[in-house]
Amino acid sequence: MADNEAGRFGGKVALVTGASSGLGEAVARSLAAGGARVFGVGRDKERLEAVLTGPETAWLAADLANPDTCAEAVRACTEQFGGLDILVNAAGAHTMRHTAGVTDDEWQHDLAVNLSAPFFLSRAALPHLLQRRGCIVNVASTAGVEGQAYSAGYCAAKHGLIGLTRAMALEFDARGIRVNAVCPGGMTTRMVENFTFPEDPDYTLIMKTASARGLMDPAQVANVVTFLCSDDASAVHGAIYTVDNGKMSL
Protein backbone atom coordinates (compact mmCIF):
# COMPACT_ATOMS: atom_id res chain seq x y z
CA MET A 1 0.00 0.00 0.00
CA ALA A 2 1.59 3.28 -1.08
CA ASP A 3 2.15 6.26 1.19
CA ASN A 4 -0.76 8.62 0.62
CA GLU A 5 -2.34 11.91 1.56
CA ALA A 6 -3.31 10.56 4.98
CA GLY A 7 0.37 10.61 5.92
CA ARG A 8 3.57 8.81 5.09
CA PHE A 9 2.20 5.66 6.73
CA GLY A 10 -1.51 6.28 6.22
CA GLY A 11 -3.49 3.04 6.13
CA LYS A 12 -0.63 0.94 7.48
CA VAL A 13 -0.45 -1.06 10.70
CA ALA A 14 2.81 -1.27 12.64
CA LEU A 15 3.80 -3.48 15.56
CA VAL A 16 6.72 -2.00 17.50
CA THR A 17 8.42 -3.81 20.37
CA GLY A 18 10.30 -1.97 23.09
CA ALA A 19 7.80 0.85 22.60
CA SER A 20 7.78 1.97 26.23
CA SER A 21 11.17 3.72 26.07
CA GLY A 22 14.27 4.54 24.07
CA LEU A 23 14.45 3.75 20.38
CA GLY A 24 11.23 1.74 20.38
CA GLU A 25 9.36 4.71 21.82
CA ALA A 26 10.87 7.07 19.24
CA VAL A 27 9.91 4.73 16.40
CA ALA A 28 6.37 4.25 17.71
CA ARG A 29 5.87 8.01 17.99
CA SER A 30 7.30 8.62 14.51
CA LEU A 31 5.13 5.98 12.85
CA ALA A 32 2.02 7.23 14.63
CA ALA A 33 2.81 10.82 13.60
CA GLY A 34 3.07 9.56 10.01
CA GLY A 35 -0.45 8.16 10.11
CA ALA A 36 0.19 4.51 11.00
CA ARG A 37 -1.96 2.58 13.41
CA VAL A 38 0.61 1.52 15.99
CA PHE A 39 0.49 -1.44 18.34
CA GLY A 40 3.26 -1.14 20.92
CA VAL A 41 4.69 -3.86 23.13
CA GLY A 42 6.83 -3.23 26.20
CA ARG A 43 7.27 -4.13 29.84
CA ASP A 44 6.29 -0.79 31.38
CA LYS A 45 2.49 -0.37 31.34
CA GLU A 46 2.55 3.22 32.55
CA ARG A 47 5.07 4.25 29.92
CA LEU A 48 3.10 2.50 27.16
CA GLU A 49 0.00 4.42 28.23
CA ALA A 50 1.97 7.67 28.04
CA VAL A 51 3.52 6.94 24.63
CA LEU A 52 0.54 5.43 22.80
CA THR A 53 -2.22 7.94 23.45
CA GLY A 54 -3.93 8.39 20.08
CA PRO A 55 -7.17 6.72 18.95
CA GLU A 56 -5.27 4.67 16.36
CA THR A 57 -2.86 3.15 18.87
CA ALA A 58 -2.97 0.18 21.22
CA TRP A 59 -0.48 -1.63 23.41
CA LEU A 60 0.36 -4.81 25.29
CA ALA A 61 2.47 -4.88 28.45
CA ALA A 62 4.45 -8.10 28.22
CA ASP A 63 7.85 -9.76 28.54
CA LEU A 64 8.93 -10.95 25.10
CA ALA A 65 11.41 -13.45 26.55
CA ASN A 66 8.41 -15.83 26.50
CA PRO A 67 7.76 -17.27 22.99
CA ASP A 68 4.03 -17.55 23.65
CA THR A 69 3.91 -13.82 24.38
CA CYS A 70 5.42 -13.07 20.97
CA ALA A 71 2.61 -14.94 19.22
CA GLU A 72 0.04 -13.26 21.47
CA ALA A 73 1.41 -9.81 20.58
CA VAL A 74 0.97 -10.44 16.85
CA ARG A 75 -2.47 -11.93 17.39
CA ALA A 76 -3.60 -8.98 19.52
CA CYS A 77 -2.29 -6.47 16.96
CA THR A 78 -3.97 -8.09 13.97
CA GLU A 79 -7.25 -8.53 15.85
CA GLN A 80 -7.18 -4.88 16.91
CA PHE A 81 -6.31 -3.38 13.53
CA GLY A 82 -7.23 -6.05 10.98
CA GLY A 83 -3.78 -6.82 9.62
CA LEU A 84 -0.10 -5.99 9.78
CA ASP A 85 2.24 -4.11 7.43
CA ILE A 86 5.29 -3.27 9.56
CA LEU A 87 7.13 -5.16 12.30
CA VAL A 88 9.89 -3.31 14.15
CA ASN A 89 11.81 -5.53 16.57
CA ALA A 90 13.29 -2.81 18.78
CA ALA A 91 13.13 -4.45 22.22
CA GLY A 92 16.49 -5.36 23.69
CA ALA A 93 18.40 -5.92 26.91
CA HIS A 94 22.09 -5.47 27.68
CA THR A 95 23.93 -6.08 30.95
CA MET A 96 27.73 -6.11 31.00
CA ARG A 97 29.36 -9.02 32.81
CA HIS A 98 32.72 -10.77 32.93
CA THR A 99 32.31 -13.69 30.55
CA ALA A 100 33.59 -16.26 33.05
CA GLY A 101 30.91 -15.19 35.52
CA VAL A 102 27.90 -15.29 33.19
CA THR A 103 25.28 -17.68 34.57
CA ASP A 104 23.23 -20.08 32.47
CA ASP A 105 20.10 -18.00 33.12
CA GLU A 106 21.83 -14.74 32.14
CA TRP A 107 23.08 -16.26 28.89
CA GLN A 108 19.64 -17.62 28.02
CA HIS A 109 18.02 -14.26 28.83
CA ASP A 110 20.41 -12.43 26.50
CA LEU A 111 19.50 -14.77 23.66
CA ALA A 112 15.77 -14.82 24.48
CA VAL A 113 15.26 -11.05 24.42
CA ASN A 114 17.73 -10.03 21.73
CA LEU A 115 17.47 -12.91 19.24
CA SER A 116 14.70 -15.40 19.97
CA ALA A 117 11.97 -12.77 20.47
CA PRO A 118 12.57 -11.18 17.03
CA PHE A 119 12.48 -14.65 15.48
CA PHE A 120 9.24 -15.69 17.20
CA LEU A 121 7.60 -12.34 16.41
CA SER A 122 8.69 -12.57 12.78
CA ARG A 123 7.46 -16.15 12.50
CA ALA A 124 4.02 -15.16 13.79
CA ALA A 125 3.90 -12.01 11.66
CA LEU A 126 5.01 -13.51 8.34
CA PRO A 127 1.58 -14.70 7.11
CA HIS A 128 0.18 -11.20 7.64
CA LEU A 129 3.21 -9.42 6.16
CA LEU A 130 3.24 -11.68 3.10
CA GLN A 131 -0.43 -10.96 2.51
CA ARG A 132 0.14 -7.20 2.56
CA ARG A 133 3.71 -7.12 1.16
CA GLY A 134 4.96 -5.57 4.37
CA CYS A 135 8.35 -5.24 5.99
CA ILE A 136 10.44 -6.19 9.02
CA VAL A 137 13.09 -3.96 10.57
CA ASN A 138 15.28 -5.64 13.17
CA VAL A 139 17.17 -3.43 15.60
CA ALA A 140 20.55 -5.07 16.05
CA SER A 141 23.53 -3.07 17.35
CA THR A 142 27.10 -2.18 16.53
CA ALA A 143 27.68 -5.13 18.89
CA GLY A 144 26.34 -7.24 16.04
CA VAL A 145 29.15 -6.25 13.69
CA GLU A 146 32.07 -5.93 16.12
CA GLY A 147 33.15 -7.27 19.49
CA GLN A 148 32.34 -5.46 22.73
CA ALA A 149 34.01 -6.27 26.01
CA TYR A 150 31.95 -7.83 28.82
CA SER A 151 29.06 -8.40 26.40
CA ALA A 152 29.42 -11.98 25.20
CA GLY A 153 25.73 -12.84 25.29
CA TYR A 154 24.61 -9.52 23.85
CA CYS A 155 27.17 -9.65 21.03
CA ALA A 156 26.31 -13.24 20.20
CA ALA A 157 22.60 -12.44 20.06
CA LYS A 158 23.02 -9.30 17.95
CA HIS A 159 25.38 -11.06 15.53
CA GLY A 160 22.70 -13.74 15.32
CA LEU A 161 20.00 -11.14 14.64
CA ILE A 162 21.95 -9.87 11.65
CA GLY A 163 22.25 -13.45 10.42
CA LEU A 164 18.51 -13.92 10.91
CA THR A 165 17.84 -10.74 8.93
CA ARG A 166 19.96 -11.92 6.01
CA ALA A 167 18.50 -15.43 6.07
CA MET A 168 14.91 -14.16 5.94
CA ALA A 169 15.77 -11.57 3.31
CA LEU A 170 17.12 -14.30 1.03
CA GLU A 171 14.30 -16.77 1.73
CA PHE A 172 11.59 -14.20 0.99
CA ASP A 173 13.43 -12.36 -1.78
CA ALA A 174 10.77 -13.12 -4.37
CA ARG A 175 7.77 -12.93 -2.04
CA GLY A 176 7.31 -9.16 -1.89
CA ILE A 177 8.23 -8.41 1.71
CA ARG A 178 11.37 -6.54 2.78
CA VAL A 179 13.63 -7.46 5.71
CA ASN A 180 16.37 -5.09 6.92
CA ALA A 181 18.31 -4.32 10.08
CA VAL A 182 19.66 -1.22 11.80
CA CYS A 183 22.76 -1.33 14.00
CA PRO A 184 22.75 1.64 16.39
CA GLY A 185 25.66 2.81 18.46
CA GLY A 186 25.24 4.42 21.88
CA MET A 187 22.04 6.40 22.47
CA THR A 188 20.67 8.48 25.34
CA THR A 189 18.20 5.86 26.53
CA ARG A 190 17.17 4.80 30.01
CA MET A 191 19.02 1.52 29.48
CA VAL A 192 22.27 3.39 28.84
CA GLU A 193 21.68 5.93 31.61
CA ASN A 194 21.14 3.11 34.12
CA PHE A 195 24.03 1.04 32.83
CA THR A 196 26.15 -0.82 35.38
CA PHE A 197 29.62 -2.13 34.67
CA PRO A 198 31.10 -5.38 35.93
CA GLU A 199 33.42 -5.36 38.91
CA ASP A 200 36.96 -4.11 38.11
CA PRO A 201 36.41 -3.44 34.39
CA ASP A 202 39.11 -2.30 31.98
CA TYR A 203 37.64 1.02 30.84
CA THR A 204 40.03 1.25 27.91
CA LEU A 205 38.23 -1.76 26.46
CA ILE A 206 34.81 -0.25 27.13
CA MET A 207 35.77 3.06 25.48
CA LYS A 208 36.64 1.24 22.25
CA THR A 209 32.90 1.19 21.55
CA ALA A 210 32.37 4.95 22.07
CA SER A 211 32.06 7.63 19.41
CA ALA A 212 33.99 10.89 19.74
CA ARG A 213 30.71 12.63 18.91
CA GLY A 214 29.06 11.17 22.00
CA LEU A 215 25.69 9.50 22.41
CA MET A 216 22.92 9.89 19.86
CA ASP A 217 19.34 10.93 20.47
CA PRO A 218 17.07 7.92 19.80
CA ALA A 219 15.11 10.07 17.34
CA GLN A 220 18.18 10.21 15.09
CA VAL A 221 18.17 6.43 14.78
CA ALA A 222 14.38 6.30 14.57
CA ASN A 223 14.62 8.40 11.40
CA VAL A 224 16.56 5.59 9.75
CA VAL A 225 14.19 2.90 11.03
CA THR A 226 11.11 4.74 9.78
CA PHE A 227 12.77 5.32 6.42
CA LEU A 228 13.24 1.56 6.09
CA CYS A 229 9.57 1.08 7.01
CA SER A 230 8.44 3.50 4.32
CA ASP A 231 7.78 3.20 0.60
CA ASP A 232 10.82 5.45 0.09
CA ALA A 233 12.88 2.33 0.90
CA SER A 234 11.01 0.08 -1.54
CA ALA A 235 14.32 -1.01 -3.13
CA VAL A 236 16.10 -1.65 0.19
CA HIS A 237 16.06 -5.34 1.12
CA GLY A 238 18.56 -7.42 3.09
CA ALA A 239 20.47 -4.29 4.12
CA ILE A 240 22.32 -3.75 7.40
CA TYR A 241 22.44 -0.04 8.27
CA THR A 242 25.01 1.10 10.84
CA VAL A 243 24.01 4.31 12.65
CA ASP A 244 26.72 5.09 15.19
CA ASN A 245 27.76 8.76 14.95
CA GLY A 246 30.66 7.79 12.72
CA LYS A 247 32.42 5.57 15.25
CA MET A 248 33.07 2.58 12.98
CA SER A 249 33.99 4.58 9.88
CA LEU A 250 36.63 6.84 11.45
- Closest by CA position to 137, among listed 84, 86, 85, 88: 88
Q: Choosing from 150, 154, 203, 241, which is the catalytic residue?
A: 154
CA 87 to chain centre: 9
- Closest by CA position to 13, among listed 80, 94, 102: 80
Contact at 8 Å (CB) between 21 and 189?
yes
Q: Which helix (H) or strand (E) holds 103?
A: none
Contact at 8 Å (CB) between 35 and 54?
no
Q: Does the annotation count 154 as an active-site position?
A: yes
Distance CA 237, CA 223 (A): 17
Contact at 8 Å (CB) between 113 and 155?
no
Neighbours of 56 (CB within 10 A): 14
Q: To 10 degrees, what angle do helices 218-229 and 22-33 make?
A: 50
Distance CA 159, CA 141 (A): 8
SS3 content of the chain, % helix, strand, coil (to 5): 45, 15, 35
Catalytic residues: 154
